[in-house]
Homo-oligomer: A and B are copies of this chain.
């Protein structure tokens, strides 16, 4: 920058104004400076900028890893949204089991990120949360959230997503509709299950708890086992709603082995809409508006920075039902 100033014969300050496009600069000098920048191939040093201006244009993103790629997609959505407004994202993917995520937060704080997004992390205690907000770093939590001062949240409309999926099934005449999900130890899971129950209730279907199959974790193997369990019943369900596309993968594999055809013999609906379009047959699934989610997360972050003391907000991220015809009409005999 010193070189640029020397070459173009203006002061450091003026060069700075051209680089960061603020303040008054006459067209003439601007030309001169821009020419010098082009000629030398000068690229400003964001590290120094960050130090002096106390603004790094970096967003930290802490997320868990999961083989259905949902979080990778969220990550991508956050990235895109951030890039759109001139921010970059430092992403940390944590295995659920290893608990060193507090160190990761320290690392992000050390980098002086302008904000932190935490996606779906269940281990959140008040103390650590305050470590972030106590330093005036905006914090947004996505999917699995926790309330806190100065903490905004994005929650998925899981209840409605599940409800509509099950209504979609019930509308087509099914009565024995099974549910495959994860142990309801968290609002996310509870909401999905409740959506399922309420939709059944609304449709006047009986709730048969033996048709509810819960597992420790979302996974292909769990889907297989759920299928074995449900399909071997004396009276198997005619439709199954699964709270993750991963379950669907496993379920379909068992169907394939048993030559059970979807949707002729059984109807299926998945959740997340990450894999369902790739399966055979393609499966109807509840999807998340990920682009919105990313944009909302970033915009919550930035608006918090502009107005630290505004009250906490909770944004609902809507779902959609991607109908791929994996639910057939069913007439009870």
Contacts and interface: CB of A to CB of B under 8 A. Distances in A.
Interface of A: 41, 43-48, 50-51, 56, 65, 69, 72, 76, 79-80, 83, 88-93, 106-107, 109-112, 131, 220, 246, 249, 252-253, 255-257, 275, 277-282
Interface SS, A side: helix
A65 B76 contact: yes
A253 B281 contact: yes
A110 to B, nearest CB: 5
A327 B44 CA distance: 56
B51 A249 contact: no
Contacts of A83: 92
B278 A220 contact: yes
Contacts of A246: 278
Given A50-B47, A111-B46, A257 B281 contact: yes
Nearest to A76: B93
B110 A44 contact: yes
A111 B76 CA distance: 20
A110 B37 CA distance: 14
Contact of A48 (B51, B256, B278, B281): B51
A220 B281 CA distance: 12
Contacts of A48: 51
Given A47-B112, A69-B69, 14 more contacts: A43-B110, A46-B111, A47-B47, A48-B51, A51-B51, A69-B72, A80-B93, A88-B107, A88-B111, A89-B90, A246-B278, A252-B280, A257-B281, A278-B279
21 contacts: A43-B110, A44-B110, A46-B110, A47-B50, A48-B51, A51-B51, A65-B76, A69-B69, A79-B92, A88-B90, A88-B92, A88-B111, A89-B90, A90-B90, A246-B278, A249-B279, A253-B282, A256-B280, A256-B281, A278-B279, A280-B280
